[in-house]
A = this chain, B = another copy of it.
Amino acid sequence: MTVVYKLPDIVAKLGGRVLGDSGVCITQIATLENARPDQISFLTNSKYRAQLANTKAGAVILSEADQDASQLPRIISDNAYAYFARVSALLNPGPEIQPGIHPSAVIGADAKIAATASIAATAVIGDGATIGAYSVVGEGCCIGAHAVIGSHARLYPRVVVYHDCVIGNNLIAHSGVVIGADGFGIAMDDGRWIKIQQIGRVVIGDDVEIGANTTIDRGALDDTMIEDGVKLDNQIQIAHNVRIGAHSAIAGCVGIAGSTTIGKHCRIGGSAGILGHLHIADHVEIAAFTLIGKSIREAGSYAGIFPFSSTDDWRRNSVHLRHLDELAGRIRTLEKQLESLGTESLNRK
């Protein structure tokens, strides 16, 4: 079953305005390169203008600035990228939820599962856990005792939520996510590590998405906190007692060490790291592959990446890094010698 939209139908739902032929029938969204005549595409980066000229799309989404960049039927929006996201959601509403509990699921005593929720095959819901309205708990998920998951959540297969964690509405958690495992708390005692019980929880706000195989540890004593609107990519590691401010977005493979606070509206690039017990201000951008080793008090963009080159060049150049202090010393020596020579030369004049 395919749903067909005309451009005025889309604009009626999502805003913007139509230019050109408004009769074209749209069934899907696609890239400029691969779109067919029954598909709508979009231009959000002017470097794809050549593709716009050659696209077979039936219509396009353009920004106000680009409104005349094509004569195709088009929707003009002041934020074409966000508009594209909205059109994609409109055209791809996702499968309908089948409320109910699969017979192979295992439900603990006193679990509170909304009548509109869906619990898939082989999922396990712990004693006293709560699953909110219209939430979907995928195949093989394990929800710990007394954990709370709000409404409209979408847990893909094999997500684990440990006991007592609390999650708001509209969570999306992809497969392999682990929420609430013990933080890495150990104390050295006479040559042996002893474990520090991790009795805090993970508390997650509304509208959070968590990528595949990302892990968020429970707090040692207080809670680990993920505020509203945070978006986490895959394979991120968030240690105990971290707090991530609202609407921050973190790319894949980032590691954040214990008790660090990230501000609101931050953006952290892939494979970056942040050491423990630091404070990162609001509106901070951190480049991929950068280690943040001290607190950042001011909004702005930060980086610390070793530039790559051919391995031969890298070898030739990087060897000096182990002697940088000596090189700097030699420059100081040269400056002094030159100064004294210069003075001498001056004296001779």
A168 at the interface (CB under 8 A from B): no
Q: Which of B174, B251, B253, B302 contacts A182 (CB 8 A)?
A: B174
A157 in contact with B124 (CB, 8 Å): yes
A273 in contact with B251 (CB, 8 Å): no
A321 at the interface (CB under 8 A from B): yes
A22 at the interface (CB under 8 A from B): no
Contacts of A344 in B (CB 8 A): 345
Q: Nearest CB to that of A223 among chain B residues?
A: B34
Indicate the size class of the contact surface on chain A: 35 or more
Oligomeric state, in copies: 3
* A292 and B308 contact, Cβ closer than 8 Å, known pairs A158-B158, A215-B212: yes
Q: Which of B213, B222, B287, B321 contacts A176 (CB 8 A)?
A: B213
Q: Nearest CB to that of A33 among chain B residues?
A: B222
* A157 and B160 contact, Cβ closer than 8 Å, known pairs A31-B222, A85-B196, A176-B176: yes
A29 at the interface (CB under 8 A from B): yes
B320 in contact with A308 (CB, 8 Å): no
Q: Interface-forming stretch among A3-11, A64-72, A128-136, A327-335?
A: A327-335
A244 at the interface (CB under 8 A from B): no
A249 in contact with B174 (CB, 8 Å): no
Q: How far is the CA of A215 from the CA of B207 in the complex (A)?
A: 23
Q: How far is the CA of A286 from the CA of B310 in the complex (A)?
A: 9
What are 22 A-to-B residue pairs whose CB atoms are below 8 Å? A31-B221, A79-B189, A95-B145, A104-B106, A174-B178, A175-B181, A213-B213, A213-B235, A215-B235, A217-B234, A237-B253, A251-B257, A252-B255, A252-B257, A293-B307, A302-B311, A304-B305, A313-B322, A316-B325, A338-B341, A341-B341, A341-B345
